[in-house]
Structure 1
Amino acid sequence: MINYIQQFKEFVRSNATGGNLLVVCILAALIMANSGISSTYNAALQYQLGAFTVTSWINDGLMAIFFLLVGLEIKDEALNGELSNIRAATLPIFAAVGGMLIPALLYYLVTRGTPDAGGWGIPMATDIAFVVAIINVIKKKVPLSLQVFIKALAIVDDLGAIIVIAIFYSAGLHSTYLLLAGVTFTIQLLLNRFGVRHLWAYLVPGIFLWYFVHHSGIHATVAGVLTAMTIPYKVKANYSPLKKLIHLLENPVNYFIIPVFALANSNINFAEGLKNGNHISGLSAGILLGLVLGKPVGITLFSWLAVKMRLSQLGHRVKWVQVWGIGQLAGIGFTMSIFITLLSFGDAEIQNQAKFTILIASSLAAFTGYMILNKIRTKT
């Protein structure tokens, strides 16, 4: 008798399952956005649920949980894994800096002197959710050190993008909420310092932290990363709060949060993006150059310089061509790039043009990065 329950468990555990589900959700969203139900689809995403829209709950709420999980995994590797070596831990930071500066520079050089120049922050961002999903699909072909590298790089990149948003694109920071967020984070740190090991003691304040950060003018997902920093790691009686929380969050994030995120953020209308030949403008060229070329050049160049200057070291069994492949994947700007687009331009036509270009650039980056990493054999 066929054990269907066991087969289902193996299907869920498969690294490719989450990635396949993500692709299905992206295609479904694109189909709905370019069909007769597009208005209903958009209305559903903008439906008000309490204080926020459905899209806001997904991008600011559910994605904070995603950032919590990634932050926990980074902390796990930093304390007892691939990032426990300080020179290995600094490499993603240098790479992320290059992956932000070079794309922004290329965009600015293409658009300088035009009204589109203000969108220089668009190609700086990396969509960590999609990058991690692709890495999960080819997990067996990518060394662990490279998997950790891209997750750490994407977090630093997104945090950098959030700082850029806060300084250059924000309407202003709210000091009262910033202070309340700081106090809440301090309480979480003190709980860790005094040896409190109950997860609820960190997650309940984490909800308040999310609320305060959200209202402070800083992107709410930062609360997930901050909370992850405070979760205790130490193993006692075969129990680690950090590892327990990672285990609890993996399936909900991979099989619910990321797919829902894709459904909510892939609603790009092709007709609007192609209207009046706008797809060949300086804005589009700047985004394409920044994401498809600037990202891999910046990440690879700054990583190479950091290694050559002995400030960092390349991960175990990692080839430089794989670093380039990771740089290509980092060109998947998607949601964060679209978010910066909405902050940069008030004109709906320009927004649609930029969103369409971001979709093309992110697709090219995803395909190229996947092909490179899927074909290259790691060092033995």
Structure 2
Amino acid sequence: MYRIWNFITQYSLLLVGGALAALIWANMAPDSYHHLVHLPLWIDAPIGLIEQHDGQPMRVLTLHFLINDVLMALFFAMAAKEVWEAVILKDGSLRGRRALTPLIATLGGMAGPVLVYLTLAASLGILAEVGRGWAIPTATDIAFSYLVGRIVFGARHPAIGFLLLLAIADDAGGLAILAVFYPTGDVVPLWLLVSLAAAAGVWLLANWLPRWLDGDDPARGWSTRARRVLAAWPYIIAGCISWYAFYRAGLHPALGLLPIIPAIPHAERDFGVFAADEAGATDLLNRMEHALKLPVQFVLLAFGLMNAGVEFSAISAPTWLVLAGLVIGKPLGITLFGWFAANVLRLGLPEGMVLRDLPVVGLVAAIGFTVALFVAAVAFPSGPVQDAAKMGALFSLGSAVLAIAAGRMMRITRQG
């Protein structure tokens, strides 16, 4: 039973369950489903969306806002933690020459979908209507891509490491796109200074100061006391301040915890994405991640339930634009840019990996799902265009079947 539950939580199948439940509910009883999604939890709240109530504009905290804008911040914080480790640590996977080929392939994996999406939209004459959705097919779902990649290549194939590097870099790019191109209102830069001040303050007071007070003391008394007495609370408080600052700044508040991640103490070692060894790590950042792992799975369940409830009648041009961007643009971009990096720039591929692996990796990375759903909800207002784009994100799960079939056609030898 434990292994089954671990499998479900590890690979976000709770998210799939929420999405399937939402699809069934929205198509069988759409009125009750949409009533739940927009259920007001707190009228005249300090946070939320401005809506008209009794003829007056008021901030309303709805169930949808609570999940998408507040609780999903925990999911993006966990994604940012993996990116931060990969970039900053000495043995981080996104450091050095070995990361150059997958990083360049990532650029192709983001540019290809955008090019396909916008080209098709322009050719159909609907660019003005759906142009804001260009970023939706740039996403890669790390958990599902990792699961499908292991099915196609096996756990020990070098393409798995390549895929994870690509997915992490893709998520980093996706976070940047959300912050820059999809503000939730007029951007107020002054509030961003509040977020940066919270991150700098907690790093100085709870991280740097105890170590400075310890000096050369091998017992590290101040650091030990701070860790025992304060634990994660300074970072939780700083995170709340940073989230509110993003909300007031006009940036999407789900990204509000990102500035705090670098301030949290971390061991000088990167165990890797989904590494079991991290469960025994004693540094605060890894302990916080593992404490959040189970709650975040239920956040993803709720996210799927709140966002995947699309009626099949909503399928239209944006559905196929998103899907084409993912299943055509992403494999094409990854293959071309990966080939260019490996052959023209002579950076090479990981030992044991060959060029015919690249299009298969591209098809695996075309599973956008979680982040694609999130971007669709941000890119378009509620309505038929958003629903159609979300359906494209849901259909991207079908890329798993294409990847498995391509792996057999390319005669990929599973390793491990």
CA distance in 2, matches of 1:336, 1:76: 20
Q: Report the alpha carbon displacement of residue 341 of structure 1 after superposing the two structures with TM.
A: 4.9
CA distance in 1, matches of 2:355, 2:133: 26
Distance 1:231 1:148, change over 3 A: farther
CA RMSD, 1 decimal: 3.6
Aligned to 1:4: none
SS of match in other structure, 2:259: helix
CA distance in 1, matches of 2:243, 2:361: 30
Higher Rg of the two aligned structures: 2
Q: Report the alpha carbon displacement of residue 213 of structure 1 after superposing the two structures with TM.
A: 1.1
CA distance in 1, matches of 2:194, 2:326: 36
The code of the aligned residue for 1:289 comes to A
Q: Report the alpha carbon displacement of residue 294 of structure 1 after superposing the two structures with TM.
A: 0.7
Aligned to 1:266: 308
Q: Report the alpha carbon displacement of residue 266 of structure 1 after superposing the two structures with TM.
A: 0.9
1:222 aligns with 2:247: no
Aligned to 1:3: none
The code of the aligned residue for 1:60 comes to D
Distance 1:179 1:306, change over 3 A: same
CA distance in 2, matches of 1:200, 1:90: 38
1:69 aligns with 2:61: no
- Whether the 8 Å CA contact 1:192–1:231 is kept in 2: the answer is yes
The code of the aligned residue for 2:242 comes to L
The code of the aligned residue for 2:107 comes to V
Distance 1:54 1:247, change over 3 A: same
Equivalent residue for 1:174, pick from 178, 185, 188: 188
1:296 aligns with 2:306: no
1:13 aligns with 2:27: no
Query: In the TM superposition, what are the counterparts of 1:282-361 in structure 2 within 5 Å?
Result: 283-308=318-343, 310=345, 314-315=349-350, 317-334=352-369, 336-337=371-372, 341=376, 348-360=383-395
Deviations 1:225-277 (A, max 9, x none): 332222211379973112222322223223x122222111110111233xxxx
1:122 aligns with 2:165: no
Q: Report the alpha carbon displacement of residue 33 of structure 1 after superposing the two structures with TM.
A: 0.7
Q: Report the alpha carbon displacement of residue 94 of structure 1 after superposing the two structures with TM.
A: 2.9
CA distance in 2, matches of 1:305, 1:188: 43
Distance 1:330 1:10, change over 3 A: closer
Equivalent residue for 2:245, pick from 212, 226, 231: 212
Q: Report the alpha carbon displacement of residue 80 of structure 1 after superposing the two structures with TM.
A: 5.3
Q: Report the alpha carbon displacement of residue 180 of structure 1 after superposing the two structures with TM.
A: 1.4
- Whether the 8 Å CA contact 1:175–1:216 is kept in 2: the answer is yes
Q: Report the alpha carbon displacement of residue 336 of structure 1 after superposing the two structures with TM.
A: 4.8
Aligned to 1:29: 22
Count of aligned pairs: 361
Aligned to 1:363: 397
Aligned to 2:40: 48
Identity %: 25
1:241 aligns with 2:276: no
Query: In the TM superposition, what are the counterparts of 1:101-116 in structure 2 within 5 Å?
Result: 101-112=111-122, 114-116=125-127
Q: Report the alpha carbon displacement of residue 370 of structure 1 after superposing the two structures with TM.
A: 5.5
Distance 1:377 1:164, change over 3 A: farther
CA distance in 1, matches of 2:291, 2:9: 20
CA distance in 2, matches of 1:131, 1:84: 15
Q: Which range moved further: 39-48 or 70-79?
A: 70-79
- Whether the 8 Å CA contact 2:187–2:251 is kept in 1: the answer is yes
CA distance in 2, matches of 1:370, 1:219: 36
Distance 1:161 1:126, change over 3 A: farther
The code of the aligned residue for 1:56 comes to F
Deviations 1:166-225 (A, max 9, x none): 4xx764312232221222222244344444654222222011111111222222232333
CA distance in 2, matches of 1:172, 1:212: 13
CA distance in 1, matches of 2:406, 2:91: 25
Q: Report the alpha carbon displacement of residue 42 of structure 1 after superposing the two structures with TM.
A: 1.4
CA distance in 1, matches of 2:36, 2:92: 43
CA distance in 1, matches of 2:373, 2:8: 27
Distance 1:240 1:147, change over 3 A: farther
The code of the aligned residue for 1:221 comes to A
Equivalent residue for 1:154, pick from 159, 162, 170: 170
Structure 1 spans left out of the alignment, 5+ residues: 1-7, 274-278
Q: Which range moved further: 69-78 or 126-135?
A: 126-135
CA distance in 2, matches of 1:193, 1:305: 43
CA distance in 1, matches of 2:190, 2:94: 36
Distance 1:317 1:188, change over 3 A: farther
Aligned to 2:296: 253
The code of the aligned residue for 2:31 comes to S
Equivalent residue for 1:231, pick from 248, 253, 264: 264
CA distance in 2, matches of 1:333, 1:151: 10
Structure 2 spans left out of the alignment, 5+ residues: 48-60, 212-222, 270-279
TM-score normalized by structure 2? 0.73
Q: Report the alpha carbon displacement of residue 18 of structure 1 after superposing the two structures with TM.
A: 4.1
